[in-house]
Structure 1
Amino acid sequence: MKLLNTIAVLLIIQTSLFSQKKSSLTGKITDEHHNPLAGVSVVLKGTVRGVQSNTNGVYAINSLNPGVYTVVVSSVGYKTQEKTLNTATEQEASFVLNEFSETLQDVAVTANGMLKGNEHLAEVDGFSINAAKKNEVIQLAHLNANLAMNNSRQIFSRTPGISIWENDGSGVQLGIASRGLSPNRSWEFNIRMNGYDITPDPMGYPEAYYTPPMEVVEKIELVRGASSLQYGSQFGGLLNFVLRKPDISTRITVESQNTVGSNGLFSSFNYVGGTEGRLSYTAYYQKRLGNGWRENSQFNTDHAHIELSYALSNKLKIGFDATYMNTALQQAGGLTDVQFAQDPRQSLRSRNWFSTPWFIPSIHAEYVFNSKTKLSWKVFSTIAERNSVGNVAAINTTDNLSSNRQVDRDFYTTLGTELRLLTDYKIWGFNNTLATGLRYFRGHIDRKQLGKGTANSQMDFNLAEGDFSRNLDFTNTNQAAFVENIIRFSPKFLITAGARIEHIESKMEGQLNSTNAILSPITRTRTFFLLGAGAEYHVSPQTEFYTNISQAYRPVLISDLTPPATTDVIDENLQDARGYNFDLGYRGKVKNFLRFDLDYFYLSYNNRIGTISRTNATGGTYQFRSNLGRSVSQGFEGYIEFDPITAIFKQSAFGRLSFFASIAYIDATYQDFKTTSVVNGQIVEGNLAGKQVENAPRHINRWGVTYAKKGFSITWQLSDIGQAYADASNTTVPNATATTGLIPAYQVQDVSASFKFLKFYNLKAGINNLSDARYFTRRAGGYPGPGLLPADGRTLYVSAGFKF
């Protein structure tokens, strides 16, 4: 009853506020040459109210309570301006922006002229501290790429050191990693969308089964290992997809992009968004289907998203968003090396299907206490499934089309919340920033495996008889708190320092297979601290040195606690992995024609979990899963983009060129990793010291050039990736089932172009894998293999769209 009374009082107060006479603020923003500037941020200082200028440079902030406001106008590449006015008497204010000459503490390095590559985050962005950290921002609007198919090779082309598993031609699942870590569904990254988790369980089962359509993604934020303090303990760091926000410059924006291509590809992306007074809204729907490059690899996906945001007052803004995905993917299965050499497009599995229905609702609120302090609160959930059916026997085993298929199903239910506070304060006359936050997360996984499915060839996850032989329940609960601080000692030099405390409780119960009794509940509880620090020195207004060191932690995952066979034994003292990341780099830009980021990194990964053979009391052998050693990844990451025409001529009637190089050398090796094997009935001990970490190529280089003139732009790129191994023993000769062996080096080219005309329309086209290279990036021991998984050959696409 008290709650209802409180709500009623709040509604009465809000109605009273709305009944007051409102005012508006409008104006135009131009540069020094009187050219209108679009996309300029116009914010009322100390409030949640703000808009962007439209293509004519005009902005409007409506439904304001009359009063005195300080208007802050900012755009990356221009000097920020402030103006104080009273909206009761002044309802128009125009601004002329000059190019900035400040240090990088207030703005991120950005694209000017033809430099359309990666940017990096500002030192403080939103509710996060990014100073002194290795980070990148991929602006999707700056790329010529096959966004309809989420082509990762093009999207991450300018991000050095990103390794990619290219075996999912549907564009649904992302498999990337950096610094010698595993790309398996990007599970070494903390994967987020709009700042909240979208995986089944970051601390227990962090596999990324969902990737948002890149046509609706505004930018991708990557913060390498030093993100562990603010976002979680993953060794890889943060990967955050930021979706387009509601268009705050117009009442309504309508957009449609339709793509056709090779192998029956059809994609239709449709978007609407805008702002009406205090309400902002956006919604999109994407339909994508095709037959796939290989036989038996068709896909049919649906994505939908809606977001609402409402400013209850100048201090408080609330919002809601929901994302839905439904998929039907036919999996072509693996091949042996001989079969790959004969025809990589062939498929020996016609009855394998995969589906991941995914629903992610979220509510969020932002409260601004004053111009120095603000608070953010997010509540998010995932209600999803992972379903597969098919023949998962070795690829050199013929699929009997009349036999029953194996059905595996996971059901995910999660609930999480994060509260973040950011405040600025002064010491010794310099502005410092403190960020702190609390987190609660609970994830539940209902895992049903080894079911006897139907014998037909369609997607059918029903059981033909009996029940699932394996039926397990996992529950993971995580509480965390963090604090991180920027302390500035001069306009050029700052340090960061922070700490995070995590508490994790993992519980497993159920039945491993049909011959096992119900397991007694197994509960693991642990609490740990992470520490980190960094420093940044501005050599010039546009260049800086940065360095950081941050501890990392990887809890024992659900997959580590589930033995694949009844004879396997799990070490009861299995320990979580620990380690740290270190960076030392130099980044920035030279005027408008050169951007660079050069970085040395060192990643120490202790207590890696693996499996060794042991003998029991009767002389028999069994597999023992335990902590087996330490690996170290170190190397160099470099990104350079150069615009020679701007450097020499400033302007050109023949268009512009920019060249980029994204290069990485990665030495990822085991330091001390004991192994045993059985040879002629005898146990033989060995050590993997000096062996290359599996799935870790030593070099990852990507090169490209972009030419642009007026509304036309075309990009060519070359990916040059070194060889890797599929197992820690660095087996070169593949086994009969193609699950181990060398993964050869490869080169692949892509060309994409776009043309914007008549202000509202565009045409896009491209050729992926221009030279039709035959290569693979992965050998899978289980689903969607087993066997090696070929990457797509040459494909073409054409796209047309409009935006009003």
Structure 2
Amino acid sequence: MKPRVIAMGALAFAIAQCLSGLAAAETPATPGETSSERNELPKVEVRERRSDDTRPKLQHIMKEVDGPLITVTKKTSITKLDSVPTVVDNNLRALFAQTPGLFVSEQQSPGQANLSYRGIGNPQESEFVTVMLDGIPLMSDWIGYPTIYTLPLPQQISEVQLIRGGSSLLYGPEPPPVVNMISRKPVADRALAGYTEAVVGSNGLFGSFNQLSGTSGSWDYLADAHYRTSDGERDNGDSTLRGADLHIGYTSEDNAHTFLDLRISQLETGDPGKLSYPQFLADEEQSPTPYNKLWTDRYVLSLTDERYFSEDTELVTKLWGGYQDNASRSQDRGAAPTTATLQDDQFRFYGLDARMLHRWGRGNALTVGTTVYHSDAPFRQFTTDGLKPDRYDRYGVPCASPAAKNCARLRQDRSTDYAAVYAENVFRFAGGWHFVPSVRIEREEVDINESIKPPNLSRGLVDRKVSHTVPLFGLGFGNDFGRGNETYFNVSQGWRPVRYFDIGSPFGNTSPDPINDPDPTHVLSWEAGVHGTPADGLFYDVSLFRIDVKDRIESQQIPNAPPGNTINVNTGDTRHRGFEGQVDYDFLAAADPKTNRHLSVFASLSLLDSDFTSSNRGFVGNTPAFSPSHLARIGMAYREDKKFKFALSVVSVASQYWQDSNLDNATPEASNYIPAKVPSYTVADLSADWWVAPQIRLLGGVSNIADKKYYARVFGGGLEPAIGRTAYIGASWEF
């Protein structure tokens, strides 16, 4: 790891340790007192870590000071999965049914998650959304290749958090927002508890999830194993998921909680391929790539220490390391292909995140911390004879020509180093006012060394290393007024680091003169709104936002060079502004706030106006791709504790351009034609849990009730059909 990166991490960690020392020495020495007496810490009763804050608004937004995170003045949303019916299979639409503004670009196979927000970037593999599990990145490579190929099962999650502007100051890249999933914790009131679930459904779906957990004395544990298989709706759309989690924790006498988590996931899925619009209209279930496969293996081991020096001071340290392998097999292009390409993206990553919180004065709180991350990510391709080579077929001899077979087509050694230091403080004043200044300084270094290049390219081997140091600042303020209402305003900077493909794409034929050296993309996010619970059963949150994106990075043909000679450059700026509102009204809680029965109507609406403000490609005034003018969600939910859960949800998405040119890709008569706009669509889902006994419940649901034929994803010149109507039924037992 590079000296500057280590130095930045060491600086912030030293600051945190100094503050912890100051917190420990909170009582000054008195005359005659010995050093051992001065160093002995009185035992304190820590109230915050396991508190049960039942304020109604915390069913919808995060705490203002949530552990070592300061979220006051930032717009947040949460979904507590215990409040909704069981989410089954690869149904991200159901998982995010009550998450305002988050766009899900749907695909049938579960091998990728495609998310975007407020029209910033292509949703492909969620490259412009930071996705985390317990504050640890879920991306393949957080900095150099920030793609999502695996997500935890909903059964493993207790809560989904969405943090908008200011998220870069809490968690770092990418641009806002952050989707942070909180894992379920062990049962705290007994030594052994269990849960087992089995479901069957459309397209050959079978799923099983099994979990044991408990707490005994100072120790707690959780272990689960899960399996899911499906034939898919299209030929070669089958998938198999296997996984397991293990958690072991220990709470010491001084209220420090240390725990180890191991997470394992193995996914194999077919890739039936993308369609042109004429193919989609003729038969959306056809499979133009019947032999393509995707494999994703992910293993992550993390160690977390939550340490309380006093009632007001806590330090949370996370250390993690892992391995992910994204492998694929794809048939080569042509009318009658006879060869295939094997691709292997491997990622070995390590990270440290240390955050200290100190509450001081009357409601004030300071956080300081550091994050350090390193990844090694070799990238390889092999050309093989035949369409169904084994995943692990390997060849050492470089391909001598584009027609060569059973040889190595590409080899790149890649690595990233990243480090950040940050500080944030909430100041509270009389009259319910609060003010939050924030600062974060980040540094990235990306390195690529290519030893084998595709034989059809005339360029030399890529040997590139770039680094950037980026300071980020933020300001927030707000006011509590009336009964449970709060105004909030936040302006924060963010950025998107350069990726491996930005500085050394293996597929471009860059000439010797220009080099890929774009500036990182910078983001300035503004948000002002008001939220609250002014009456029993009612929650609302409305805001106006503006996001300015500067220095978008795109691949561009080099002027006066032969076709195929490209370079990644900063091509322009975009502006994204609009309205986002959310409301939830619980009729039964309005009549009785202490009821255990809830009947609620929920709705959210995002209105978006996005355009290019500058462009060297002539796009000024165009709408950026994947920027729907509206995204609305509405639904109804009923739940009675240990009796019944029911949810009906509807999502409506406006039409949207799929490329920044706002043009069709070809004439309507062409076989590869795709219209300039993805058509609007509205889809409804229904799900329910019914307890037939205190420990046994039945599960059931229908997705895409009206069997809507639509698509929400276009990538690589083809569209991905969304899945039609599906249904599932199952049962679970808990003890």
* Interval containing the TM-score (normalised by the shorter chain): 0.7 to 0.9
The amino acid across from 2:586 in the alignment is D
CA contact (8 A) 1:738 1:779 kept: no
2:479 is aligned with 1:531: no
Structure 1 residues 183 and 620: alpha-carbon distance in aligned structure 2, compared to 1, 3 A threshold: closer
2:113 is aligned with 1:174: yes
Could you tell me how far apart the structure 2 residues matched to 1:646 and 1:734 are?
Answer: 55
Aligned residue number for residue 625 of structure 1: 568
2:686 is aligned with 1:754: no
Secondary structure of the structure 1 residue equivalent to 2:339: coil
Aligned residue number for residue 62 of structure 1: none
Secondary structure of the structure 1 residue equivalent to 2:551: strand
Secondary structure of the structure 2 residue equivalent to 1:109: helix
Please list every run of 5 or more consecutive structure 1 residues that lacks an aligned counterpart in the other structure.
Answer: 1-45, 48-66, 79-106, 112-118, 676-686
Could you tell me how far apart the structure 2 residues matched to 1:734 and 1:294 are?
Answer: 26
Secondary structure of the structure 1 residue equivalent to 2:168: helix
2:636 is aligned with 1:705: yes
Query: Which of 635, 648, 661 does residue 716 from structure 1 map onto?
Result: 648
The amino acid across from 2:335 in the alignment is T
Structure 1 residues 285 and 528: alpha-carbon distance in aligned structure 2, compared to 1, 3 A threshold: same
CA contact (8 A) 2:138 2:148 kept: yes
Structure 1 residues 650 and 377: alpha-carbon distance in aligned structure 2, compared to 1, 3 A threshold: closer
Could you tell me how far apart the structure 2 residues matched to 1:375 and 1:656 are?
Answer: 37
CA contact (8 A) 1:577 1:608 kept: yes
Could you tell me how far apart the structure 2 residues matched to 1:772 and 1:713 are?
Answer: 24
Aligned length: 677
Secondary structure of the structure 2 residue equivalent to 1:185: helix
CA contact (8 A) 1:704 1:717 kept: yes
CA contact (8 A) 1:738 1:788 kept: no
Could you tell me how far apart the structure 1 residues matched to 2:213 and 2:505 are?
Answer: 48
Secondary structure of the structure 1 residue equivalent to 2:169: helix
Aligned residue number for residue 402 of structure 2: none
The amino acid across from 1:545 in the alignment is T
Aligned residue number for residue 584 of structure 2: 641
Aligned residue number for residue 64 of structure 1: none
Could you tell me how far apart the structure 1 residues matched to 2:508 and 2:148 are?
Answer: 28
Aligned residue number for residue 11 of structure 2: none
Aligned residue number for residue 669 of structure 1: 611
2:526 is aligned with 1:591: no
Q: Superposed, which structure 2 residues align to 1:387-536 within 5 Å?
A: 387-391=327-331, 393=333, 397-400=334-337, 403-426=338-361, 430-449=362-381, 451-457=382-388, 460-463=391-394, 465-490=405-430, 492-510=432-450, 511-514=452-455, 519=461, 521-536=463-478
Deviation of 1:744 (Å): 0.8
CA contact (8 A) 2:331 2:387 kept: no
CA contact (8 A) 2:108 2:237 kept: no
CA contact (8 A) 2:231 2:237 kept: yes
Structure 1 residues 108 and 453: alpha-carbon distance in aligned structure 2, compared to 1, 3 A threshold: farther
CA contact (8 A) 1:389 1:461 kept: no
Query: Which of 221, 225, 240 does residue 300 from structure 1 map onto?
Result: 240
Aligned residue number for residue 790 of structure 1: 721
The amino acid across from 1:551 in the alignment is Q
2:307 is aligned with 1:367: yes
Deviation of 1:512 (Å): 2.9
Query: Which of 505, 516, 526 does residue 563 from structure 1 map onto?
Result: 505
2:84 is aligned with 1:143: yes
2:137 is aligned with 1:197: yes
Deviation of 1:70 (Å): 4.0
Query: Which of 29, 48, 67 does residue 126 from structure 1 map onto?
Result: 67
Could you tell me how far apart the structure 1 residues matched to 2:125 and 2:713 are?
Answer: 12
CA contact (8 A) 1:294 1:792 kept: no
Query: Which of 274, 297, 306 does residue 334 from structure 1 map onto?
Result: 274
Aligned residue number for residue 276 of structure 1: 216
Structure 1 residues 738 and 226: alpha-carbon distance in aligned structure 2, compared to 1, 3 A threshold: farther
Aligned residue number for residue 745 of structure 1: 680
Structure 1 residues 195 and 621: alpha-carbon distance in aligned structure 2, compared to 1, 3 A threshold: closer
Deviation of 1:508 (Å): 0.8
Could you tell me how far apart the structure 1 residues matched to 2:480 and 2:595 are?
Answer: 32
Could you tell me how far apart the structure 2 residues matched to 1:517 and 1:745 are?
Answer: 43
Deviation of 1:586 (Å): 0.8
CA contact (8 A) 1:454 1:462 kept: no
Structure 1 residues 178 and 520: alpha-carbon distance in aligned structure 2, compared to 1, 3 A threshold: closer
Could you tell me how far apart the structure 2 residues matched to 1:328 and 1:238 are?
Answer: 27
Aligned residue number for residue 658 of structure 2: 726
- Per-residue CA distance 1:277-330 (angstroms, 9 max, x = gap): 111100111100010112210000101110111123324332111101111101
Aligned residue number for residue 769 of structure 1: 704
Q: Superposed, which structure 2 residues align to 1:211-222 within 5 Å?
A: 211-222=151-162
CA contact (8 A) 1:224 1:238 kept: yes
Could you tell me how far apart the structure 2 residues matched to 1:635 and 1:226 are?
Answer: 17
CA contact (8 A) 1:733 1:742 kept: no
Query: Which of 578, 582, 593 does residue 526 from structure 2 map onto?
Result: 582
- Per-residue CA distance 1:248-303 (angstroms, 9 max, x = gap): 11111110011110011000000010011111100111100010112210000101
Deviation of 1:132 (Å): 0.5
2:53 is aligned with 1:109: no
Over the matched positions of the two proteins, sequence identity in percent amounts to 25
Secondary structure of the structure 2 residue equivalent to 1:753: strand
- Per-residue CA distance 1:337-395 (angstroms, 9 max, x = gap): 111111111212110000011101111212211111111211111211010102253xx
Secondary structure of the structure 2 residue equivalent to 1:590: coil
**TM-score, length-scaled by structure 2:** 0.87
- Per-residue CA distance 1:207-237 (angstroms, 9 max, x = gap): 1112011111111111113111121032122
Structure 1 residues 554 and 566: alpha-carbon distance in aligned structure 2, compared to 1, 3 A threshold: closer
Aligned residue number for residue 609 of structure 1: 553
What CA RMSD, in Å, does the superposition of the two structures yield over aligned residues? 2.5
Structure 1 residues 621 and 176: alpha-carbon distance in aligned structure 2, compared to 1, 3 A threshold: closer
Structure 1 residues 425 and 411: alpha-carbon distance in aligned structure 2, compared to 1, 3 A threshold: same
Aligned residue number for residue 658 of structure 1: 600
Could you tell me how far apart the structure 2 residues matched to 1:253 and 1:266 are?
Answer: 24
The amino acid across from 2:534 in the alignment is V
Structure 1 residues 669 and 747: alpha-carbon distance in aligned structure 2, compared to 1, 3 A threshold: same
Could you tell me how far apart the structure 2 residues matched to 1:656 and 1:431 are?
Answer: 33
Could you tell me how far apart the structure 2 residues matched to 1:613 and 1:534 are?
Answer: 42
CA contact (8 A) 2:56 2:533 kept: no
Aligned residue number for residue 5 of structure 1: none
Secondary structure of the structure 2 residue equivalent to 1:634: strand
Query: Which of 138, 141, 165 does residue 105 from structure 2 map onto?
Result: 165
Aligned residue number for residue 352 of structure 1: 292
Query: Which of 168, 177, 182 does residue 237 from structure 1 map onto?
Result: 177
Deviation of 1:130 (Å): 0.7
Moved more, 565-574 or 291-300: 565-574
Deviation of 1:626 (Å): 1.0
Could you tell me how far apart the structure 2 residues matched to 1:551 and 1:326 are?
Answer: 37
